[in-house]
Structure 1
């Protein structure tokens, strides 16, 4: 019996536009950073931001260090990075509202403070509700200093949420993340696009 659903953020709730982000970094002279995005590389500055090892200011400094031609200020760099996010369609928000009547809902995401603030401020709010109205708790890599597919992040999420693995469904666009969750007895749903899960629950 599934009683809890844990959602990934990127490609499950929010749409992503990699090419728009690549172009945004190129426009501000950060060609080497655009290559990270284009190749979906998560090491170095992006990994450190997602695990909370560095903050937003340090991230922006590192962008300018790795791309000397980039003289953009912090806000401009953050806007370029946020151009990866394509928004959350209303139909997904409405689905969350209906699911909350039957399940306990959570988010577990490898994300960073730049993307999460953008989503919390602009994408989740609807009809007077915000992210806290849809989910009991959000578990974010940069706050937990852990990153999927490390099983420790799932163990902590289950413990802090007070839920059982065998009563939980985890939805993610990464097969590796789903495999890691499954080793703990969590049911998983591997999806490849944001709408794929809508008719499966």
Structure 2
């Protein structure tokens, strides 16, 4: 993929950088008896419980209490967080190497719909590569639970452009969700829809 005129690259997290395993997450919730939450994951439900934590309307502790209320299972906070974090598996070293390489020539940013639990796992463990951490790979990191905004709301893209001082036509956004890409395109941002047949590692 030619990057003519591109100065900035904005990456999504899950499905683009971090590999996801829904079955592993479902099995983890089932293992602690939280079958109703397994159904949320199985059906890809993003409303109420998962949306509230992703948009920063509830804390991790409140999330865990709500899981216990919904399931009537006395699971500990650690068990619930562990089951939810089972969704995230790895970030391949090759991706971390590429991010560090790209950062020499482009301004790199992360923009993710995520929550405190998932981000802590990523920041504390998954992004680690030798002496480098997530902050070494991105100039700035934008997370939905901190901004109280989520993709595909165009407002979150407008915020990133304004906060980082980016020109839309000089910016490439990479995501695995077509709605998110369309929202970015509506503001004049170039996009790359990540898929098995359109892998960013082969295009950049």
TM-score by length of 2: 0.96
Give the number of aligned pairs. Answer: 200
Identify unmatched segments of 5+ residues in structure 2.
none
- 2:155 paired with 1:172: no
Q: Which string of whole-angstrom CA distances, capped at 9 and with x for unpartnered residues, describes residues 78-101 of structure 1? A: 000000001101000001011111
Matches within 5 A, 1:101-140: 101-140=104-143
Partner of 2:148: 145
Question: Structure 1's 182 and 107: CA in aligned 2 closer, same or farther, altered over 3 A?
Answer: same
Q: CA RMSD in A?
A: 1.1
Q: Per-residue deviation at 1:192?
A: 2.0
Which of 87, 90, 109 is residue 90 of structure 2 equivalent to? 87
Q: Which runs of 4+ in 1 moved over 6 A?
A: none
CA distance in 1, matches of 2:154, 2:196: 24
Does the Cα contact within 8 Å between 1:12 and 1:193 map onto a contact in 2? no
Partner of 1:57: 61
Partner of 1:45: 49
Identify unmatched segments of 5+ residues in structure 1.
none
Q: Which string of whole-angstrom CA distances, capped at 9 and with x for unpartnered residues, describes residues 58-111 of structure 1? A: 00000011111x211101100000000011010000010111111000000000
Which of 33, 38, 57 is residue 37 of structure 2 equivalent to? 33
Question: Structure 1's 193 and 88: CA in aligned 2 closer, same or farther, altered over 3 A?
Answer: farther
Does the Cα contact within 8 Å between 1:110 and 1:147 map onto a contact in 2? yes
